[in-house]
């Protein structure tokens, strides 16, 4: 199968590309960032998915499946630029797919779509709306991109659309939301809170995405693996020191004294859990994780030398 990966220079996207290539698929990369050491056999085009040059890739290479991993999750990126990339880029990708005969689009979103709040359910299922966006506006463009992709299920019935809401990842790249939060020696917790976190080892996350490509599952799916773990245990088992801080004080300390730089709304995500139900994806694809929560944290600690 000829698969185009938008956002192919990202750490997890590279793993997906290599895995699909190893399984015999023809892989094409598309990203405005370079992938200088891309292996032979993976053709990479350095352009923004919103540009005319990206549409030319669709027109000339005629991919059968497109994996959209070109959204931006970095909370330090400017709001206007994030919205242009996440919402505008998603819209352009689906338009190119429809106009140039793509059969299947996989949108790789995040489980943070559901938001963290005091009244959110214990387990989120795929039919729930987002929560807590009012307190965390930085999530709004990612939610809008997810909703646009999900709407394609009805808007474009001839296109097989898969929307994946993937939990946090940890692994060799040491990139991603959770890895960024764990980057320092001291990791802040909001005093009095210890939420459950879900995560996958990167190789398991890449395999889940590859399965959705190969099995052409249609619909919206939460993707998770090991049991959720309290944040304090994640911090301690990866060799960091948990520092509980009263919330009013923590708001003023973010980005200082070695603490991570986070927008104020992100504090809700280290107070309240976002735990998703992944049974539907497991039923549709027979996916099961290979790295459990204990081994994942042990591996990550070794990878980061703690």
- CA dist 102 and 88 (Å) reads 19
- State the Cα torsion 295-228-265-249 to the nearest 10°: -70
> How confident is the prediction for the chain on average, in pLDDT?
92
- CA dist 283 and 263 (Å) reads 37
What are phi and psi for residue 69, nearest 5 degrees? -125, 30
Report pTM. Answer: 0.95
pLDDT at residue number 75? 53
Burial of 38 (0-12, 13-18, 19+ CB in 10 A): middle
pLDDT at residue number 77? 54
* Structural domains of the chain in order of their starting residue, each with its CATH number: 2-173+200-225+275-290 (3.40.50.720)
Which of 167, 45, 155 minimizes the C-alpha distance to 108? 167
- In this prediction, the residues of the chain whose per-residue pLDDT falls under 70 are 74-79, 132, 134-135
Would you say 57 and 44 are in contact if contact means Cβ atoms under 8 Å apart? no
Would you say 55 and 4 are in contact if contact means Cβ atoms under 8 Å apart? no
Other C-beta atoms within 10 Å of 148: how many?
18
Which of 71, 222, 221, 48 minimizes the C-alpha distance to 142? 71
Other C-beta atoms within 10 Å of 236: how many?
15
pLDDT at residue number 135? 64
Would you say 25 and 212 are in contact if contact means Cβ atoms under 8 Å apart? no
Burial of 181 (0-12, 13-18, 19+ CB in 10 A): buried
């Amino acid at each position: 199968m000829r698969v185009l990966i938008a956002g192919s220079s990202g750490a997890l996207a590279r793993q997906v590309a290599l895995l699909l290539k190893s399984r015999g698929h023809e892989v094409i990369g598309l990203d405005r960032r370079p992938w200088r050491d891309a292996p032979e056999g993976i053709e990479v085009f350095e352009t923004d998915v919103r540009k005319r040059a990206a549409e030319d890739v669709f027109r000339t290479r005629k991919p059968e499946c497109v994996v959209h991993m070109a959204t931006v999750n970095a909370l330090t990126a400017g709001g206007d630029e994030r919205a242009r990339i996440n919402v505008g880029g998603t819209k352009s990708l689906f338009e190119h797919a429809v106009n140039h005969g793509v059969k299947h689009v996989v949108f790789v979103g995040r489980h943070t779509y559901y938001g963290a709040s005091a009244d959110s359910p214990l387990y989120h299922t795929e039919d729930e709306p987002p929560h807590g966006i009012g307190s965390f506006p930085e999530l709004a463009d990612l939610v809008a991109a997810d909703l646009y992709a999900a709407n394609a299920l009805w808007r474009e019935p001839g296109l097989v659309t898969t929307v994946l809401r993937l939990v946090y990842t940890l692994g060799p790249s040491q990139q991603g939301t959770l890895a960024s939060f764990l980057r320092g020696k001291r990791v802040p917790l909001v005093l009095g809170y210890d939420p459950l976190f879900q995560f996958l080892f990167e190789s398991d996350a890449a395999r889940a995405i590859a399965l959705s490509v190969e099995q052409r599952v249609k619909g919206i799916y939460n993707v998770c693996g090991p049991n959720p773990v309290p944040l304090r245990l994640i911090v301690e088992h990866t060799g960091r020191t948990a520092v509980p801080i009263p919330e009013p004080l923590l708001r003023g300390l973010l980005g200082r004294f070695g603490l991570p730089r986070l927008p104020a709304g992100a504090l809700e995500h280290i107070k309240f859990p976002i735990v998703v139900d992944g049974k539907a994806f497991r039923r549709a694809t027979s996916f099961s994780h290979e790295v459990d929560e204990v081994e994942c944290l042990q591996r990550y600690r070794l990878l980061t030398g703690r």
